[in-house]
Amino acid sequence: MSTSITFEREAVCPWSGARAASIATPHGTVRTPAFMPVATNASLRSMNFTDVIECGAEIILSNAYHLYLRPGHELIASAGGLHKFMSWKMPILTDSGGFQVFSLDEFRRITDDGVHFRDHRSGRAHFISPAISMEIQNAIGADIIMAFDECVKNPATYGEAEVAMKRTHRWLEICEATHSRKNDQALFGIIQGSMFEDLRRRSAEVVTSFDLPGYAIGGVAVGEARSEIERIVKFATPLMPEQKPRYLMGIGTPWDILYAIRCGIDMFDCVAPTMIARHGSVFTSKGRISIRKSSFRTDFGPIDETCDCFTCKFHSRAYLHHLTKAQEYAGATLAAIHNVRYLIREANNARQAILDGNFREYFERLAPILIQQNEDRALLQH
Ligand SMILES: [Zn+2]
């Protein structure tokens, strides 16, 4: 099929298969590995776009489900599309709404045709099918759009996972057939199959048999243990074509990202950096910390001495501690700037290591530190 994006691999790590690449889209080029900050409601929580650009973001993710409910995809189309509506000139990816709809649980009913659900705010009834999801995402107009898939929660039985996977495949066929803007929007297919390797293999075979511009792994980080996430990512990534972009949906922590890059993933997104920032939680090279802790009251050093973000350049832990205690909006903003920059910088550093031919050394130096931090994750309440 014709494609609106071009993907070029610049370097591949011979030890791991990790790739440095670029994705040229109608709104500019994304250098990968790339962390995509999440702008759920066409806005990054607590941040304005000059902050986001200064953090080095080259692409952001927005949620078709939320935009469909509010302000409505027709309104966005009448504004000239999402780029114009939100005044963001760089690439945008929208997810299909599948993940959000399936998270609703008791408010939704899935059939082979699509999903009936109720708006979690107003209670109004809605129906989204694969064709309607394409209509919504075509109206919104992101550079990369996602197929409408069924994501099962974890744990799922083999039978449940298989039914959802088969439905995802049938729906992909409809998405591909009804996607009306192939000249300027790239449709990515999503591999499902929960924690079952044979299902993941079957799903990868079917999904990649559609000649799409890119592919994604969905249905991970939905409640399973870290070792399970790693097992599936390691298993499924090599099943995706080397010459196409690979996107791991909804990942993750600094360790999750490093591990995904090692497996050969190019793109990832996570709502965590802005979400945890609202509660005063920030990434550091020594692990995640809560800036609200009293020990930071008189700490006049930066959040992280190795960080080059605006917050770390100009502000101290003591100031952030004060802002979060006083519930000033600036506290969440400065923490979000730091967290988003932190993950973008991690992806950039990995990219540089791949280009320099020393990714293995980079990975082996960083992995023990990040794994240790991940073990501590549960203990660090935000
Ligand atoms: Zn910083």
pLDDT tens string 226-253 = 889 999 999 999 999 999 999 999 988 8
Kindly tell me if the per-residue pLDDT of 376 is higher than 60: no
CA dist 295 and 110 (Å) reads 50
The dihedrals phi and psi of 297, each to the nearest 5 degrees, come to -60, -35
pTM (2 d.p.): 0.96
pLDDT of residue 223: 81
CATH classification (class only), 6-270: alpha beta
> What's residue 122's pLDDT?
84
> Position 155: which residue type?
P
> Which pLDDT belongs to residue 380?
39
- What integer pLDDT is reported at residue 15 of this predicted model? 97
* Residue 263 CA to ligand 1 centre (angstroms): 27
pLDDT at 132 over 60: yes
Give yes or no for residue 378 having a pLDDT over 60.
Answer: no
Confidence band of 308 (pLDDT split at 50, 70, 90) = very high
Tokens at 197, concatenated:
């390797």
Sheet strand arrangement including 108-110: 108-110, 115-118, 125-128
Q: Do the Cβ atoms of 187 and 254 come closer than 8 Å? A: no
Q: How many C-beta neighbours within 10 Å does residue 139 have?
A: 21
Express each pLDDT in 158-212 by its tens digit: 999 999 999 999 999 999 999 999 999 999 999 999 999 999 999 999 999 999 9
Please tell me the distance between residue 343's alpha carbon and the centre of ligand 1 in angstroms: 10
State the average pLDDT over residues 29-33.
Answer: 98
Ion ligand 1 contact residues with beta carbon within 5 A = 307, 309, 311-312, 338
How far does the centroid of ligand 1 lie from the alpha carbon of residue 54, in Å?
A: 12
Q: How far is the CA of 40 from the centre of ligand 1 (A)?
A: 23
Span 334-338, average pLDDT: 98
CA of 302 to the centre of ligand 1 (A): 7
**Omega within 30 of 0 (cis) for the link into 155:** yes
User: Hey, where are the domains in the chain?
Assistant: 6-270, 277-376
Task: Give the residue numbers marked as catalytic.
Answer: 95, 269
286 Cα–ligand 1 center, Å: 13
pLDDT band (50, 70, 90) for residue 27? very high
Region of poorest pLDDT, from 6-10, 222-226, 227-231, 266-270: 222-226
Q: DSSP states of 90-103 as a string?
A: S-EEEE-SHHHHHH
Mean of pLDDT values over 50-63:
97
**Residue-level pLDDT at 372:** 82
> Looking at the chain, which runs of residues are DSSP E strands?
6-12, 19-25, 28-32, 34-37, 60-63, 92-95, 108-110, 115-118, 125-128, 144-146, 186-191, 214-217, 246-248, 267-270, 281-282, 289-290
